[in-house]
């Protein structure tokens, strides 16, 4: 399938630190993944899920079955790009319901001529959310063959990577909410309390 703007949500992890599957954890009156789907849709992205077709079937969205679950995001990304015909995708995780549509639009535009486009925070690269080109498939295969499983390993490869400095995106997201993710129940409570103070 070919789409103009496609976003893929990684929803196949174990969620060990959370203590259970966090995909459908209630947040703002709805499952956390639904909040993220609405944000992506509002930025005019077609949404595809990566994970278990059985577990995600209730969302009525296309699902790319994870052929090697729990081997990490690099392996998942290889499966996603192999499955889709689109030249590039926006990749995010199911536990990032604070994405700003202005940020993902900026990433998409910056990734137009690059293999990878990601944000930096305090000079550190942040692989999610990020825009990834299908051109990196051979690089992904090489990295995985060498034992790498992390998205940051692309920074050490021949892929052309656009690193967006904070000055380029903080004006659109001053609190850096687009990088907030929920790994534990404590994270969820802490972020909810922080949002109440904003």
Going by C-alpha positions, the residue among 14, 26, 97 that lies closest to residue 51 is 14
**pTM score over 0.75:** yes
Reported as a single tens digit per residue, the pLDDT across 141-175 is 999 999 999 999 999 898 999 999 999 999 999 99
Count CA atoms within 13 Å of residue 52 on its CB side: 10
Instruction: Give CA–CA dist 156/1, Å, rounded.
Output: 31
pLDDT confidence bin for 198, thresholds 50/70/90: low
Buried b (16+ CB within 10 A) or exposed e, 115-145: bbbbbbeeeebbbbbbbbbeebeebbeebbe
Return the CATH class of domain 6-197.
alpha beta
Buried b (16+ CB within 10 A) or exposed e, 23-50: bbbebeeebbbbbbbebbeebebbbbbb
Give the mean model confidence (pLDDT) for residues 106-112: 93
Contact partners, residue 155, CB within 8 Å, separation at least 6: 125, 161
The helix/strand/coil state of 146 is coil
Q: pLDDT exceeding 90 applies to what percent of the chain? A: 67
**Structure token pair of residue 167:** 């000055």
Q: In what helix (H) or strand (E) does residue 198 lie, and over which residues does it extend?
A: none
Count CA atoms within 13 Å of residue 146 on its CB side: 13
Of 22-31, 143-152, 185-194, least confident by mean pLDDT is: 185-194
Q: Residues 185, 182, 154, CA angle at the centre, nearest 5°?
A: 145
């Amino acid at each position: 399938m070919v789409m103009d703007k496609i976003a893929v949500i990684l929803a196949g992890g174990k969620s060990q630190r959370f203590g259970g599957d966090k995909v459908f954890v209630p947040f703002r009156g709805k499952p956390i993944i639904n909040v993220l789907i609405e944000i992506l849709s509002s930025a005019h992205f077609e949404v595809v899920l990566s994970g278990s077709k059985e577990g995600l079937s209730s969302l009525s969205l296309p699902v790319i079955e994870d052929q090697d679950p729990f081997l990490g995001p690099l392996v998942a990304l290889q499966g996603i790009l192999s499955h889709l015909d689109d030249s590039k995708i926006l990749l995010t995780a199911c536990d990032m319901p604070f994405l700003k549509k202005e940020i993902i639009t900026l990433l998409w535009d910056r990734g137009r001529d690059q293999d990878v486009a990601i944000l930096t925070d305090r000079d550190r690269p942040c692989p999610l959310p990020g825009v990834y080109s299908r051109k990196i498939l051979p690089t992904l295969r090489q990295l995985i063959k060498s034992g790498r499983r992390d998205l940051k390993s692309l920074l050490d490869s021949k892929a052309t990577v656009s690193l967006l400095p904070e000055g380029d995106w903080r004006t659109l997201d001053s609190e850096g909410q687009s990088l907030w993710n929920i790994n534990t129940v404590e994270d969820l409570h802490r972020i909810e309390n922080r949002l109440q103070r904003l």
